[in-house]
Amino acid sequence: MRLCGIFAVAVVGLCVVVLNCSPPAYLRIEDFESVLSQLNGEATRIRRSGKETTPLDFNAKIGQRMRDDRRPFWPALTDKWGVKLWAARRGVKVPSTIYHATKCDALPSLKSLPRHFVMKATHTSGCNMVVGNGVVRAQSECTIPGWLNPLGIYYFEKHERQLHGETVTDRLLLDACQRWLSAQYVSADTEWAYSLLQPAVIIEEAITTAHELACDIKCYTFHGTTEYMQHTTQRFHGDAKRDTFYERGTHWTAVNATFSSSHWEEDPSRRLPQEVLQNAASVCDRVGKGLDFARIDLLYTGDQGMLLGEVTAYPMGGNVHFRGEPDLNMRMGLLWY
C-alpha cells in the first residue's frame, strides 16, 4: 500500500512539474451567449492553411474537423445547456428545463420532480437516464476515462452498471450526478469542443407519447440545408431498433442504406410521411444556418411537434460505418465543402 501511495504521488508530481497538467480552462457557461452571437451572420467555414488536401468522404471530413476546427462556438453548441440557448435564438422548441447546475448539492428530491423526466450530463456523450413513474425506463451509460489519461495513457477505467428497470431513489440520482461530474468525456482529447466544457447536469421534461419515448430524427445539415435525415425508432430495444435514412429531392425518399450495425424500416406504412419530414427539415435548416455541417438531433412526437435535442459536431467520432446504396459516406462528403 505504501508503494502504491508513493507511485501515485510520483505520477501526480510528474504531471504537474513535467507535463504541466493544470486544471482545464473551461469555457464559462455565462459566456455561451456571447460566443453563440458570432453565428448570427453569414455562413462560417473553417479557415484552412491551403496546404492540406481536402478529403472527399464524410468520415475523413469529420476527422479533419477534429484536427483543425477550433471555432469558438462549437463548445457552446456541443453543450446540452448551450444548445438550448441556440434554439431560443432560432425560435426552435426544446424540452423544458427543471434543473441545471455544476454541483450536486442542490439536486432536487425525487418527490419534487415530475413523474417523467430525463437527467443527463451536459458536457459529454451518453451519461443520461429516462425516468418514468419512479423507474429507470432507459439509460445511455457513461464511460469513465482512466486517471492516467492526463499523462497521455488513454484507457477506459470502467463502465456504469446497467440501471434499466431499477427503482429510482434520491441516492441513485445523487450517485449518478456525482459520477457524471467527476470526469470529462473520454474522447475530449480528440473531440476538441468537449474539452472546454465545464461538467454539469441537467434535468428536463421527458418527451413521451402515452406508451413510449419520442422517436429521434437526426438531420445531416450542410450549409443550412438538410440533405439527409435519419429516423431512429426503438433505440433502446436491441435488434428491434431501426435507422431509416431519407434523401432530399423533389420529395423525401427512403433509401436502402443505413449503418452497418443496423437495419432500415422496410414496411412503408411505418415510414415517416412527407409532411413530418418537411417539418423536420425546416426546423433543422433554421438550427443549421451559418454552419458548414452539423448533425442536428430532434425529438418528435405527433402532438408535441419537433423539439431540439442536441447538435453534434463529430458524429460517432468520424467512425460512421454505412452499408447499402447510395454510399452515404461519399454522398455526404461531397455535400460538405
How does pLDDT run across 42-60, given as a tens digit for each residue?
555 655 555 556 678 999 9
Return the pLDDT at 84. 97
Question: How far is the C-alpha of 269 from the C-alpha of 247, rounded, in Å?
Answer: 18
Query: Is residue 30 within 8 Å of 70, Cβ to Cβ?
Result: no
Nearest CA to 126 out of 186, 66, 215 is that of: 186
Q: Which three cell numbers stand for residue 321?
A: 460505418
Maximum pairwise Cα distance, the chain: 71
CA 230 to the chain's CA centroid? 15
Question: How far is the C-alpha of 171 from the C-alpha of 175, rounded, in Å?
Answer: 6
Structural domain boundaries in the chain: 2-37+75-205, 215-335
Helix (H) / strand (E) element for 101: namely strand 97-101
Return the pLDDT at 18. 43
SS3 54: coil
Give the pLDDT confidence of 308-336 residue by residue, as tens digits. Answer: 999 999 999 999 999 999 999 999 999 99
> What 8-state DSSP symbol labels residue 61?
H
The domain over range 215-335 is classified in CATH as 2.40.10:
no
Give the pLDDT confidence of 99-117 residue by residue, as tens digits. Answer: 999 999 999 999 999 999 9
pTM score, two decimals?
0.87
In the chain, what is the straight-line distance between the N-terminal and C-terminal CA atoms, in Å? 56
Return the pLDDT at 214. 83
Return the pLDDT at 302. 78
